[in-house]
Amino acid sequence: MEYVIILAVAVIFLVFKDRPVMTMKFKDGELTHSKGEIPHGFLIGCKEIAHKQPFSGQIKVYKNRFTTKLTFSKTVPSKVKQRIHNVFPHTGTNKKQGRRA
């Protein structure tokens, strides 16, 4: 019985753990911490945006089978969020879209 409880806790931990593909932390317009394989163009674009409009906050990128999703901390202004979305290289379109048999 104890093994079942331990197994259930382990499964719950693995399912609900925060696992972003990329993470970037900015403080006063400077990149302080980055994690994951960040595309070079996206990194340069984010640094330029942070240099022009300094902000503090965190950007996380999640990926599943179908989409990639950007999440921002609450301290990132909405105008900066939109500019970063515009620089982000991964679009949410499906690869099968536009192909016809």
Cβ atoms of 79 and 53 within 8 Å: the answer is yes
Number of CB atoms found within 10 A of residue 22's CB:
19
**pLDDT tens digits, residue range 29-88?**
999 999 999 999 999 999 999 999 999 999 999 988 888 899 999 999 999 999 999 999
Residue 83: the pLDDT is 94
- What distances in angstroms separate CA 60 from CA 4, 8, 57, 75, 99, one per listed residue? 34, 28, 10, 13, 31
State the sign of the Cα–Cα–Cα–Cα dihedral 8, 10, 11, 16.
Answer: positive
Q: What is the rounded (10 degree) CA torsion for 88, 92, 93, 96? A: 110
Tell me, yes or no, if the pTM score tops 0.75: no
